[in-house]
Amino acid sequence: MRRMTAKELDNTVERLEEIRVEEEVLRSTLLEQVEAFGFSPARAEKSRRLETDLHQLTVTTGTTTEIKDTAVERIRLACPRGLFDQLFCMVTKWKLAPGATQILADRLPAGAPRHLRMWFNRAVIVKETGPRLRIEKVEAECSTPMPVSS
């Protein structure tokens, strides 16, 4: 391997940047196609998929949940223990308990603090994550002819 000249290095870096920009444009185009014309795969409500003979393109969106410890602590101090344990469970940090949003959507249980919903909304922030595009090559099916018996 020989050492590249400064001009060759500059040209290579510029070409790499052109490829990066072209990749962004191509990914954006594929993402738009999948979102516009894709179908929702079974048991994948936050995904859209397009399939071709050679590729399977899947776009998945998701959410992240941020829980503010100080706001959760305020709820813990104001709620009866049984109710609090239905809303949050301690891991290393607070984590949303299964069914917590349903409890708040219904009539609040007896003993719930008057401002629970407001506090909960301050304690829990749900953010949508950006869409992710995954492209997989479709494996070719075996096309060996079956032997014919004589």
Q: Residue 150's pLDDT is what?
A: 43
Could you state, in order of their start, the residue ranges of all structural domains in the chain? 7-62+131-137, 63-128
Q: Residue 130's pLDDT is what?
A: 83
pLDDT in single tens digits along all 150 residues of the chain:
999 999 999 999 999 989 999 999 999 999 999 999 999 988 888 899 999 999 999 999 888 888 998 999 999 999 998 999 999 988 767 888 999 989 999 999 999 999 999 999 999 988 888 887 776 777 766 555 555 454
Q: Residue 144's pLDDT is what?
A: 54
Q: Residue 147's pLDDT is what?
A: 52
Q: Cα separation of 148 and 130, whole Å? A: 54
Query: Do residues 75 and 123 lie in contact, with contact meaning Cβ atoms separated by under 8 Å?
Result: yes
DSSP secondary structure string, 43-106?
A: T-TTEEEEE-SSEEEEEE--EEEEE-HHHHHHHHHHS-HHHHHHHEEESSSEEEPTTHHHHHHS
